[in-house]
A = this chain, B = another copy of it.
Amino acid sequence: MKEIHSIIDTLSQKSDSKIVMLVADGLGGMPMTPDGKTELETAKMPNLDKIVPASQIGLLDPVQPGITPGSGPGHLGIFGYDPLEANIGRGVLSALGVNFDLKHGDLCARINLCTIDGNGIITDRRAGRIATDQNIRIMKKLNENINVPDGVQLFLETEKEHRAGMVLRGKKFYADIADTDPQKTGLAPLDPVASDPAKGEETVEILKDIIAQAKAILADEPQANMMLLRGFAEYSQYPTMQERFKMKSLALATYPMYRGLAKLIGMDVNWNISTMEEQLDELKKQFNNYDFFFIHIKKTDSYGEDGNFEQKVKVIESIDTMIPKILELNPDVLILTCDHSTPAKMKAHSWHRIPSLIYSQWCRPDRISTFNEYTCRGGSLTGLATKHLIPIAMAHAGKLAKFGA
């Protein structure tokens, strides 16, 4: 799918127009029973209803039919990147999420602090979800005491509770290394193993040594006395939204991972906001300074994963209250979408197509009166991949030149 990138990149042009993308994470749902309603069908959205008839709506595929995306591929798609070409490791996301300043070639991994017993067997994979300040103390102790070979730098960064990020810098590392987390208690942590043992030998030796030192250093900790490593990945700089689409972009997200994803593709990130109100305030304040705004709402996904249908409906209804405040600013295009479905019935991300809406004066209006998974089926966006949302929005915003003479 290289061609879609190159052509959009070639045609993109700077303009004063504004695009706001409101992402309700995991918005897509399904009925709890075959004859029931979905979360979106149940939610009352009087503000959205006013703009639906003049919008384009539809059901889109985040990656490919049948594929359940993680948050990384899900977001890359709605940011206009092909999620198959542009896949990234969890380790990179963790580091970006804590605003660590990654350099091209860094090897990243996600750390889970865990508890092991006297025989080295894992008794708690999350070390009792220790408090974040304990995590900070432990990372400091590890950073100060672990020795790495000459020329190599090690960075250990607290994320939250038992989670942290590791970054190795200074060599050409091998990144295709299996997780050391055995994914259940009652087993010992696994050794790091390279998929190509010859190529990965040096990196594996460095990692084994770091893990052994960490184990010794943490031996006297009551809870977090070992670390598990997951999602090894090498960081390489992505082409930014500015480079590709000529859009200066701002991310207004309240959770680390989504800030990290935005940073990955060159968005400016507000690292301080934590509520919908702050997101809206910041949007208003920065409206003249950017071309593209990414507003991320996490709780639709969280309640979906909890299987809490009613609370997911309530979050959707609160998102509806954001709509008039966004429209007051007169954006040229408003996109409402999500990275994947998280039906409360499934308590998980799913492969179901995602409902999306594009509102602009340059839409050929779909003339459909409400927005949900069922009305979307007949909309004009149905069947597209999510990576096509950005080009369509850019077209509506006058940010794409004509192709060919």
Contacts and interface: CB of A to CB of B under 8 A. Distances in A.
Nearest to A385: B65
A59 B380 CA distance: 9
B34 A84 contact: no
Given A93-B405, A349-B402, A395 B66 contact: yes
Contacts of A54: 34
Contacts of A390: 66
Given A90-B405, A404-B87, A405-B90, A391 B349 contact: no
A405 B70 contact: yes
Given A7-B64, A364-B373, A380 B402 contact: no
Interface string A367-394: 1000001100110101110001011111
A378 B380 contact: no
Contacts of A66: 8, 388, 390-395, 400
A64 B380 contact: no
Interface string A40-71: 00000000000001100001000111111111
A353 interface: yes
A67 B11 contact: yes
A177 to B, nearest CB: 15
A189 interface: no
A83 interface: yes
B7 A395 contact: no
**What is the interface of chain A mostly: helix, strand, loop, or mixed?**
loop
A404 B34 CA distance: 30
A352 interface: yes
A391 B65 contact: yes
A105 interface: no
Contacts of A362: 346, 350
A59 B364 CA distance: 12
Interface string A347-359: 0011111000000
Interface of A: 1, 3-4, 7-8, 11, 30-31, 34, 38, 53-54, 59, 63-74, 83-84, 87-90, 93, 231, 343, 346, 349-353, 362, 364-367, 373-374, 377-378, 380, 382-384, 388, 390-395, 400-405
